[in-house]
Structure formats: C-alpha cells, structure tokens
Amino acid sequence: MRQPKVTVLGGGSWGTAVASVATRNTETLLWARDADTVTELNERHTNSRYLDDLPLHPRLRATADLQEAVETADVLVLGVPSHACRAVLTEAADHLRPWVPIVSLVKGLEQGTRSRITDVVSEVLPGHPVGVLNGPNIAREIVQGYAAAATLAMPDHHLAQSLQRLLSSKLYRVYTSTDVTGVEVAGALKNVFAIATGFGDGLEAGDNTRAMVITRSLRELSRLGVAMGGQERTFSGLSGMGDLIATCTSPHSRNRRVGVRLAQGRTLEEIAAELKQVAEGVKSSSVVMELADHHGVDMRIAHEVDAVINHGQPVEHTYRGLLREAPSHEFHGDAW
Ligand SMILES: NC(=O)C1=CN([C@@H]2O[C@H](COP(=O)(O)OP(=O)(O)OC[C@H]3O[C@@H](n4cnc5c(N)ncnc54)[C@H](OP(=O)(O)O)[C@@H]3O)[C@@H](O)[C@H]2O)C=CC1
Ligand SMILES: O=C(CO)COP(=O)(O)O
C-alpha cells in the first residue's frame, strides 16, 4: 500500500527538522517561501539559515510553490510561526483535498483572537481532522539525531496512531494523546516561562532560582491549562514539564535567550536583530495575560514577563516584586 505523502509548511528550523524526520518514513515535501532556501534544500540538503550545515535527509524535497505543496498532500503539517498561520492556511485552502489531516507544530497563540492554532485551522479549513505535535524538541538536536520525544494529540486516537508512525523515528519517539487543548496550551505557555527563567539566568541568580521558577511556572501553566479545558496530567508530561525543562535550560532556546538578554539590559529590537528567528513567547506574553483574566486565573510569573516585555518594567523589579509576596500552600490557592 502507498504511504501517505506528507507536506510540511514552513522552512524554518522546526518545519525543516520535522520534514527531515518524516522523509525517513514517507515521501515528504517541504514548503518554504524563500526561493534560495528551497534551492539549498534540494541541492545541498541543508538549511544553513536556520540549521547551519547540519545534513538533512537526502530524499527530502522542497518547493516554494504553495499550490504544488498543498495539492499533493495526504497529511499537512503546519510549521510556520503563529502570526503567519491564518494567512498561509487561507492561501492553502483552495488547494487542499477534503479530509486531509492537519498537524500543528506551532507553539504560539493568535494575537487579537487569543485562539489556539488548532482552532484557527478548524476555522479556516473546516472538516479537516486537526491535532498538535509538541514536546521538548530543540530543532537542531533532532536533526543531529539525539534521542527525543514528543506528544501527538488528536481527538481521534486511531488517526493519531497512523500519523505517529509517519512522524516518528527510532530516535524521535512520538507518543499519542487525545488532549489537544492541554498539549497545545502547554506548548504555547512554556515559552513565556522560558523568558522568565532567562531573566533569572541573565541576572546570574543561580541554580536554585532557576529550579524555583521552572517548578512554580509549571503550577501556573497547569492552572491556566486546566481552566482552558486541558487535563491536569498532561502538564506533567512531555508537552508540559518536559518542554519547560528543555526550553528553560537549553542554551539553544530562543525564548530563554530573550529573557537573558533583557536582563542584561538589551532592548527587544536589539535581541530580535541578533536572534533572526521566532521567539513565540514575546507575542504570547500579552495573550496569556488576556486568557488569565478571561479565565480568572492569577498568573504572577507570566504577569511579570508581560510587564517587562509590553510595559517597559525593568527585569530587576520583576524579581523584587515576586519575592515580596508571601508563599502559600504549595498546591492550593493562586499564589505563585
Ligand atoms: N525551533 C524549534 O526548536 C521548535 C520550534 N517550534 C515552533 O515551531 C514554530 C515555527 O518555528 P521555527 O521553525 O522554530 O521558526 P524559525 O524562526 O526557525 O523559522 C520561521 C519560518 O517561518 C517562515 N515564515 C515566517 N513568516 C512567514 C509568513 N508570513 N509566511 C510564510 N512563512 C513565514 C520563515 O520564512 P523566511 O525564512 O522566509 O523568513 C521561516 O521559514 C513556532 O511556533 C515555534 O515555537 C516547536 C518546536 C521546536
Ligand atoms: O519549542 C522549543 C523546544 O521544545 C524551542 O524553543 P525556543 O522557541 O525557545 O527555541
């Protein structure tokens, strides 16, 4: 039987990494809007703008033609940043065959609507089964072939199982879940907390501080996630605790780096120019606070990130402010 063809939209670090893994299992096409990136992917099997000279799977093919990419797809994987999702999906809509399943790799929320990206997919492409693949997955480490794991969440468990086989490898272990909300919210929120952890690291606050911020962030993330409809246990899994550990500690994390640099006195503009890649937590920080207000969840750590990113609060005030608050019961109540 012919294997389903996979198309990945988004030629950045993560879209490229996932496409390279999928190519081991089936014919895979990567859509990138940049023609030079496409040429390099097809001729040299690298994507040097995002992944240096790391070798990609030699059978991976790329195109800059969105119609070609979408009309041949049996499975569509969405790997562009959150701010681009609605526009890219709208352009893709006319070319996609009915019922093609869509898997989002996106760890962000739509600004303005506060929507999860799978909800944006369902709005733009009604009738298509949709899920999300999230976990502690630093793109370059996956391409380098270090072992890693993620969770593929879809409402239909059988469909998740068949996509699991297409998107995993011996070294990239994809688990399944039906908790789309939990997995997706965890993936978006952890970026904001990685910025908070970066504040501590940038101020050279030490290992205990980092562990405190990560652990209390997990509480905060879980409380909002549950209020939004996610299952509590999801947040102690790969997309919750797992991704918090990776993103809050990795020198490769772009969100953590934003926090470190802000603490060192750099401006967001300077940091964006240095990074040249997306750090979703910057845009998500205000959306997370809107969601926290909407669901009546007190989120002190996220609040401080929002204050620094969007309201010019110095990073040092953030720490002093948080430490002024008395701790309460570890697992009950709203205090951070
Ligand atoms: N990198 C990682 O380790 C991981 C990332 N993710 C998530 O994956 C998503 C994608 O991130 P990532 O690949 O890292 O991002 P990168 O910054 O590495 O790349 C972004 C990609 O999106 C493209 N792009 C940007 N804007 C548009 C647009 N308007 N239309 C079409 N294409 C666009 C860029 O194209 P161009 O080059 O032409 O600008 C580039 O190919 C994010 O939500 C991120 O949080 C999830 C897990 C791991
Ligand atoms: O999502 C990621 C790791 O799981 C990548 O994190 P950054 O976007 O902070 O680099």
- What is the full per-residue pLDDT of the chain (336 aa) written as tens digits? 788 999 999 999 999 999 999 999 999 999 999 999 999 999 999 999 999 999 999 999 999 999 999 999 999 999 999 999 999 999 999 999 999 999 999 999 999 999 999 999 999 999 999 999 999 999 999 999 999 999 999 999 999 999 999 999 999 999 999 999 999 999 999 999 999 999 999 999 999 999 999 999 999 999 999 999 999 999 999 999 999 999 999 999 999 999 999 999 999 999 999 999 999 999 999 999 999 999 999 999 999 999 999 999 999 988 777 888 888 888 887 778
pTM exceeding the 0.90 threshold for the entire prediction: yes
The residue whose CA is least distant from atom 33 of ligand 1 is 80
Find the 98 Cα to ligand 2 centroid distance in Å.
32
217: number of CA atoms within 13 Å, CB side?
33
Residue-range domain boundaries for the chain:
6-178, 187-324
Q: Is the CB of 40 under 6 A from ligand 1?
A: no
CATH number for the domain running over 187-324? 1.10.1040.10
Which protein residues are within 6 Å of ligand 2, measured from CB? 107, 136-138, 191, 194, 243, 246-247, 253-255, 279
Q: Is the CB of 81 under 6 A from ligand 1?
A: yes
CATH number for the domain running over 6-178? 3.40.50.720
3-state SS, residue 73 = coil
Q: Is the CB of 91 under 6 A from ligand 1?
A: no
Could you give the CA distance from residue 300 to residue 220 in angstroms, rounded to a whole number? 8
Confirm or deny that 170 is annotated as ligand binding.
Answer: no
Q: Is the CB of 242 under 6 A from ligand 1?
A: no
Find the 4 Cα to ligand 2 centroid distance in Å.
28
- The predicted pLDDT at position 318 comes to 85
How, if at all, do strands 148-153 and 130-134 pair? antiparallel
- The predicted pLDDT at position 332 comes to 85
Domains 6-178 and 187-324 share a fold: no
The residue whose CA is least distant from atom 6 of ligand 2 is 253
Find the 249 Cα to ligand 1 centroid distance in Å.
21
Q: Is the CB of 62 under 6 A from ligand 1?
A: no
Specify the amino acid at residue 300: R
Q: Is the CB of 32 under 6 A from ligand 1?
A: yes
Residues 126, 113: contact at Cβ < 8 Å? no
Confirm or deny that 255 is annotated as ligand binding.
Answer: yes
Residues 163, 152: contact at Cβ < 8 Å? yes
Find the 205 Cα to ligand 1 centroid distance in Å.
31
Terminal Cα distance for the chain, rounded: 53
